[in-house]
Structure 1
Amino acid sequence: MIVRVRFLPDDVTVDAEVGEALLDVADRAGVFIPTGCLMGSCYACSVELENGDNIRACITVIPAREELTINLFSDPTW
């Protein structure tokens, strides 16, 4: 199943496969998501879904749905 992934605020859209790693999808789209530990512990890769939920991109895969909107915000610490 193909999922349309939209990265805000730059409005970059890319197609992804269900189960594909979110960081890989972002990289393919040319979208930078900062990382630290790559295990979800440091929260450097936190992004926000359209419903307001915060997720850690390094441990998240693309869910089975038609579209996924991800709000990127930058933490000056990273």
Structure 2
Amino acid sequence: MSVCIQFLPDDVTIAAEPGEPLLQVAARAGVSIPTGCLMGSCHACEVEIDGEEAICSCISAVPSGRSQMTVNLYCDPSW
């Protein structure tokens, strides 16, 4: 069962498979998420999920058991 992912503020929606790396999904959708260390330490790739939880997208995957989710990209002027 695929998950419908909406990327904000670009308002781009794409279907993804549970377990698929979030950065890979974003790249397929044409959405650029800034990265730094690619290990979750620097938090350059931090995004907000469903208006609540902040995660590092470089070490996160599409969760199972959901039909949709919203990923809100942060804009950090220091990166």
> What is the TM-score normalised by the length of structure 2?
0.95
State the 1:57 CA deviation. Answer: 0.2
State the 1:8 CA deviation. Answer: 0.6
SS at match of 1:13: strand
Moved over 3 A (4+): none
> What is the TM-score normalised by the length of structure 1?
0.96
What corresponds to 1:19 in structure 2? 19
Which residues in structure 2 correspond to 1:1-78 (within 5 Å)? 1-64=1-64, 65-78=66-79
Measure the CA separation in 1 of the matches of 2:51 and 2:72. Answer: 10
Is there any run of 5+ residues in structure 2 with no aligned partner, and where? none
Is there any run of 5+ residues in structure 1 with no aligned partner, and where? none
State the 1:24 CA deviation. Answer: 0.1
- Please report the RMSD computed on the Cα atoms of aligned residues, expressed in angstroms: 0.7
SS at match of 1:47: strand
Measure the CA separation in 2 of the matches of 1:71 and 1:51. Answer: 7
Number of aligned positions between the proteins: 78
